[in-house]
Chains A and B, each alone.
Chain A
Amino acid sequence: MSETMQQTAEPVLEIRNLSIDYPISIGTVGAVEKVSFDLYKGEALGLVGESGCGKSTLGLSILKLVRPPGKITGGQILYKGRDIVSMRDRQILKLRGQNIAMAFQNPLTSLNPLFRIDRQFLETIHQHEPGINKSEALKLAEAILEELGIEPSRLYEYPHQLSGGMRQRIMLGLGLIMNPDIIVADEPTTSLDVIVEAGFIDLLNRLRGRYNLSILLITHNLGLVAEIADRVAVMYAGKIVEIGGADKIFHDPLHPYTYGLINCVPNIRLDQEELVTMPGNPPDLVNPPAGCRFSPRCPKVMDICRVQEPELKAPAAVQGTGQLSDQTSGAGSDTARRVTACWLYQVKGAE
């Protein structure tokens, strides 16, 4: 969206060289390895990839919710300049909900079935604002329900009395009640039917403008990403392989994995004769392949790909044209910057 592009590029979240490991019996799974990206104020960034690529682990790490034995082994997560990785639990508790909220896949497991919705709202509000009295807090909750298109009287029902779509909206409401800057949404529509999903997408897009929210949308659903995201980061086997504006990623993907991912999905607006297929499987993350992790499956693989790992950086070819290089891009903002980790776009052996 052009409005977000024209905003001054102010990152609310900077991920720097983040690595997360899961030790298992036969070794260590490098679920996320040296990942870096920024999330800017008011933008929606789609983090896409297939299952096991580390996108959900990455999402959980932002609120330090990675479960043991999973562990952040390196890097920084800077929220407005403060490093979340080195924060104490008490500080993080404050951050959760107040500044950064999470929306999960399955609202039924995220809402407490024993408590009415009002109590779940009160709990969240009191956690962050102990001074607020009950009637004021309820007013807040009613207001947010109204915004979500749910009758305020539903506040006094239990989760099982609500439909799946309503539960998902309420979960979003619980996330938004304290006015966070960032919402991390991990497959927020997977449990919803298509018409309800469409309603949820519209709602998210509406609220986003209203509250100037930054959204990190984690999903494998490319349709969902296309509907919401301004920029897209593509993950493969624990690494980010490409980041760019949503239009560019969908219409002019650079990395061969991005190309395969975008074009293997049936598109209802097209008459496709054949889908692009990517044979093979994602690699074993205990012993990842040398060089580029996609090289064993890549149709454009070169010798160097199997030996040396490409860096995530602006593509040389694009830099050469002078259209999209760092300084001249878009409205001069960093947000339009396009990077990819592929030897096809880099001067071989430059380092």
Chain B
Amino acid sequence: MSKEALFSVRSLVKEFPVQKNLIDLLLAGRKRSVVHAVDDISFDIYKGEVLGLAGESGSGKSTTGRLLLRLIEPTDGIIEYRGRNLTAISSREMETLRAKLQIVFQDPNSSLSPRMSIGRAIGHPLRIHRMGNSGQRKDRVLELMEKIGLTPADFLYRKYPHQVSGGQAQRIVLARALVTGPEFIVADEPIAMADVSVRALILELMKQLKGEFDLTYLFITHDLATAKYLCDRIAIMYLGRIVEIGSRDELFSRPHHPYTQALLEAVPVPDPVQRRTEEMVHGEIPSAINPPAGCHFHPRCPHAMPRCSEGRPPLTEIAPRHFSACVLDS
């Protein structure tokens, strides 16, 4: 794998203001409280790789995906794409770049307009980016539909979202993301809503498309088994921070951060012979409004020490290109 960084993210921060009701305002005064959705994270995405972003709900992984494409504006930090700082360019420039940077969401049905035919939906980005004339656009859409397994393409072209199956809907969304010829796709839990057998089809398709179109993926998932199957490198997020990042082999054979270890142990294995031993981590992910001091994970950590609450442990390289943020490492 080449080491050319497609994206370099540095000190990325996103805070969301908390909506307060009147009583809270009266009691607490005007103090503004925020959710630290993404709390100062840095990472690179290399050309041609699949970077997995994994964590429990509320860890900030979806927010990170959206920040990369500036679908939401970061509070602070730098997002460099091919050497250009995306946070500093105008929204018009950003729009032209979006032909190269696409996203696929979790629920294909809510990502498709019920009033737009399949062909029109897939071709929509071409119209937005003023690519080709209507004949060329139609050819492009039909060709892509064939490639992605939306067949018979002529027939499906005129159908509407309610007339297709869930698996087909997910393919339509993928086709729409690919139609402008992007090089980078954020896939935000693309299989979470799909049925078991459809999931496998979509995963295989994503693998095949990656090779065919020379794509780079940021694959956001809560399912580590899927991450292991598809990703080259994986970053584990917890309460807005990356606690561990490394290659798939490193991360799964030598998980370092206690949170990563807990996550890996918790994954149910589809094999009754390999049942889990009992879980050692208890409790749930705390609130991101008032996160615990120091390492966010220390209140649940089986190895917690007094100094864990003292400062944020930095991401430390514990093996080549394998980083972990735990006081045990520094």
Q: Does B273 count as interface, using CB distance less than 8 angstroms?
A: yes
Whole-angstrom CA separation of A193 from B200 in the bound complex: 21
Query: Is B57 interfacial (CB-CB < 8 Å)?
Result: yes
Q: Report yes or no: B272 in contact with A229, Cβ–Cβ below 8 A.
A: yes
Is A164 a contact partner of B284 (Cβ separation < 8 A)? yes
- Using CB atoms, name the residue of chain B closest to A273: B229
Provide the bound-state CA to CA distance between A232 and B168, in Å: 29
Q: CB distance A261 to B57 under 8 Å?
A: no
A193 adjacent to B57 (CB under 8 Å): yes
Interface stretch among A30-38, A67-75, A131-139, A244-252? A244-252
Judged by a CB distance under 8 angstroms, whether B94 is at the interface is no
Given the known inter-chain contacts A202-B278, A202-B279, please indicate yes or no for A275 contacting B203, CB distance below 8 A.
Answer: yes
State whether A198 and B265 are in contact (beta carbons under 8 Å apart), knowing that A227-B276, A264-B197 are contacts in the complex.
yes
In contact, B270 and A265 (Cβ under 8 angstroms): yes
Task: Report which of B273, B276, B284 forms a contact with A165, defined as CB distance below 8 A.
Answer: B284
Are B56 and A274 interface neighbours, CB within 8 A? no
Complex CA–CA separation, A103 to B273 (angstroms): 26
Cross-interface CB contact of A193 among B56, B204, B274, B276, cutoff 8 Å: B56
Binds B, one of A107-115, A151-159, A217-225, A309-317: A217-225
- Which residue of A163, A199, A261 contacts B197 across the interface (Cβ within 8 Å)? A261
Chain B residues within 8 Å of A199, by CB = 279, 282
* A220 to B285 Cα, complex, angstroms: 25
Cα-based distance from A260 to B56 in the complex (angstroms): 28
Decide: A268 and B224 in contact? CB cutoff 8 A: yes
B255 to chain A, nearest CB (A): 11
B181 proximal to A (CB < 8 A)? no
Selected from B197, B228, B264, the residue in CB contact (under 8 A) with A277 is B197
Interface residue? A87 (CB, 8 A): no
A287: interface (CB < 8 Å) = no
**In the complex, what distance in Å separates the CA atom of A225 from the CA atom of B269?**
9
Residues on B with beta carbons closer than 8 Å to the beta carbon of A220? 195-196
B25 CB-CB contact with A under 8 Å: no
Which of chain B's residues have a CB closer than 8 A to the CB of A268?
224-225, 228, 252, 264, 267, 269
The closest CB in chain B to the CB of A222 belongs to: B270
Most chain B CB within 10 A, of A198, A221, A246, A251, is at A198
- Checking A163, A224, A251, A276 against B268 with a beta-carbon cut-off of 8 angstroms, the contacting residue is A224
CB closest chain-A residue, reference B252: A268
Q: Which residue of A lies closest to B199 (CB)?
A: A264
Cβ–Cβ < 8 Å partners of A149 in chain B: 282
A222 touches B229 (CB 8 A): no
Check A193–B222 contact: CB distance below 8 A: yes
Given the complex of chains A and B, what is the CA–CA distance between A51 and B201 in angstroms?
16
Contact with A along B94-132 (1 / 0, CB 8 A): 000000000000000000000000000000000000000
Bound CA–CA A221/B196 (angstroms): 8
Interface residues of A in 30-62 (CB under 8 A from B): 50-51
Contacting B at CB under 8 A, from A213-248, are 220-227, 229, 246-247
B119-177 contacts to A, CB under 8 A, are 165, 167
User: At the interface, yes or no: B41 with Cβ under 8 Å from chain A?
Assistant: no
In the assembled complex, the Cα of A308 lies from the Cα of B159 at a distance in Å of 34
Q: Which of A165, A227, A276 is in CB contact (< 8 Å) with B275?
A: A227
Number of interface residues of A (CB under 8 A): 45
Selected from A196, A221, A278, the residue in CB contact (under 8 A) with B284 is: A196
What per-residue 1/0 map shows which CB atoms of A258-302 lie under 8 Å from chain B? 001110111111001011111101000000000000000000000
Bits for B247-264, please: 1 = Cβ < 8 Å to A, else 0: 000001000000000111
Complex Cα gap A261–B198 (Å): 10
Q: Cβ of A260: which chain B residues have Cβ within 8 Å of it?
A: 197
Q: In whole angstroms, what is the CA distance A223 to B229 when docked?
A: 15
User: A24: CB under 8 A from chain B?
Assistant: no
In the complex, the chain A residue whose C-beta lies closest to that of B59 is A193
Residue in B56, B57, B268, B272 with the greatest tally of chain A CB atoms within 10 Å: B272
B266 at the interface (CB under 8 A from A): yes
* Interchain CB contact under 8 A, A223 and B222: no
Q: Please tell me if A147 contacts chain B, counting CB pairs below 8 Å.
A: no
Chain B residues positioned under 8 Å from A334 (CB to CB): none
Which residues from chain B contact A195 at a C-beta distance below 8 Å? 56, 262-263, 266, 279, 281, 284
Q: A26 on the interface (CB 8 Å rule)? A: no
Q: Which residues of B contact A163 (CB under 8 A)?
A: 284
Asked if B271 lies at the interface with its beta carbon under 8 angstroms from chain A, I say yes
Cα A268 to Cα B201 in complex, Å, equals 18
Assembly CA distance A220 to B269 (angstroms): 14
- Chain A contacts of B285 at CB under 8 A? 193
Query: Which of B223, B272, B274, B279 is the one whose CB lies under 8 Å from A198?
Result: B279
Chain B residue numbers with a CB within 8 Å of A204 are none
B226 adjacent to chain A (CB < 8 Å): yes
Residues in B whose Cβ lies below 8 Å from that of A197? 266, 268
Chain A residues contacting B228 (CB-CB under 8 Å) are 266, 268
| 215-239 of chain B: CB within 8 A of chain A | 222-226, 228-229
Among the listed B167, B272, B278, which residue makes an inter-chain contact with A246, where contact means beta carbons less than 8 Å apart?
B272
User: Are B268 and A226 touching (Cβ within 8 A)?
Assistant: yes
Given contacts A194-B224, A264-B197, A267-B225, 15 further A-B contacts (CB under 8 A): A50-B196, A194-B266, A195-B263, A199-B282, A223-B269, A226-B268, A226-B270, A227-B275, A247-B272, A250-B270, A264-B199, A265-B225, A266-B203, A266-B229, A268-B225
15 contacts between A and B (CB under 8 A): A195-B281, A198-B276, A201-B276, A223-B268, A229-B272, A246-B272, A250-B271, A264-B197, A264-B199, A265-B199, A265-B200, A265-B225, A268-B224, A275-B229, A277-B200
Q: Which residues of B contact A (CB under 8 A)?
A: 56-57, 165, 167, 195-197, 199-201, 203-204, 222-226, 228-229, 252, 262-276, 278-279, 281-282, 284-285
Q: Contact residues of A with B, CB < 8 Å?
A: 50-51, 149, 163-165, 193-199, 201-202, 220-227, 229, 246-247, 250-251, 260-262, 264-269, 272, 274-279, 281
Lowest 8 A-B CB distances belong to which pairs? A223-B268, A264-B200, A198-B266, A193-B56, A266-B229, A268-B225, A222-B270, A246-B272
